[in-house]
Amino acid sequence: MPLMRIDVVKGHDESYLKKMLDIAYEVQIETLHTPEGDRYQILTQHEPFEMQILDTGLGIKRTNDIVVFNLATRPRATKDKKQFYSKLVERLNKDLGLRKEDVMFSLVPNNDDDWSFGNGEA
């Protein structure tokens, strides 16, 4: 049940963005072991000045193709998270030509009682 928020700089066409969402969903199922249909994705496009993603001394040069994935999710095993990061970056690079340096992740763990999918019920 991850809620996946994806932030990008405006300028990509609809097919590119849909492909990005599909790839992220496929990798989520494979590496985070979520069931089919567990798809909660919100894509937000920003003006270039609205995304200031610096490298904080890591030597990573960013471009306007930067993509930030933020997932609110159940606690996950470290090996699964690392697999998610690496497989998603590989697929985005291979299928969309996205530079590996332009993909950033943040996972925020939470529990089942932190969610209500409707009707005001946890």
pTM of the model: 0.93
The domain over range 3-114 is classified in CATH as 2.40.360.20:
no
Token pair belonging to 108: 């925020």
Question: Residue 96, SS3?
Answer: helix
Mean pLDDT of the residues in the chain: 95
What tens digit of pLDDT does each residue of 75-100 get?
Answer: 999 999 999 999 999 999 999 999 99
Please state the domain extents for the chain: 3-114
Whole-number Å distance between alpha carbons of 81 and 69: 12
Active site residues: 2
